[in-house]
Amino acid sequence: MLERLKRNYPEYLIEAAALGAFMVSAGAFTVLIEQPDSAVRSLIPDDDTRRALIGLAMGLTAIAIVYSPWGQRSGAHMNPALTLTFLRLGRVNRGDAIFYMLAQFVGGVLGVLLVRAIFGERFTSQPVNWVATLPGPHGIAPAFVLEAAISFGLVITVLAMNARPRLQKLTGVACGVLVATYITIEAPFSGMSMNPARTFASAAPAAVWHDLWLYFVAPPLGMLAAAEVFTRVTTNRTGCAKWRHGEKQRCIHCGYRGELA
Q: What domains are defined for the chain?
A: 2-260 (1.20.1080.10)
pLDDT block averages, 10 residues each, the chain of length 261: 83 97 98 94 95 98 95 95 95 95 98 98 96 96 98 95 88 96 97 98 95 97 96 78 80 76 44
pTM for the model: 0.94
User: What was the pLDDT predicted at 261?
Assistant: 44
User: What was the pLDDT predicted at 240?
Assistant: 85
Q: What is the 3-state secondary structure (H, E, C) of the chain?
A: CHHHHHHHHHHHHHHHHHHHHHHHHHHHHHHHHHCCCCHHHHHCCCHHHHHHHHHHHHHHHHHHHHHCHHHHHHCCCCCHHHHHHHHHCCCCCHHHHHHHHHHHHHHHHHHHHHHHHHHCHHHHCCCCHHHCCCCCCCCHHHHHHHHHHHHHHHHHHHHHHHCCHHHHCCHHHHHHHHHHHHHHHCHHHHCCCCCHHHHHHHHHHHCCCCCHHHHHHHHHHHHHHHHHHHHHHCCCCCCCCCCCCCCCCCCCCCCCCHHHC
User: What was the pLDDT predicted at 179?
Assistant: 97
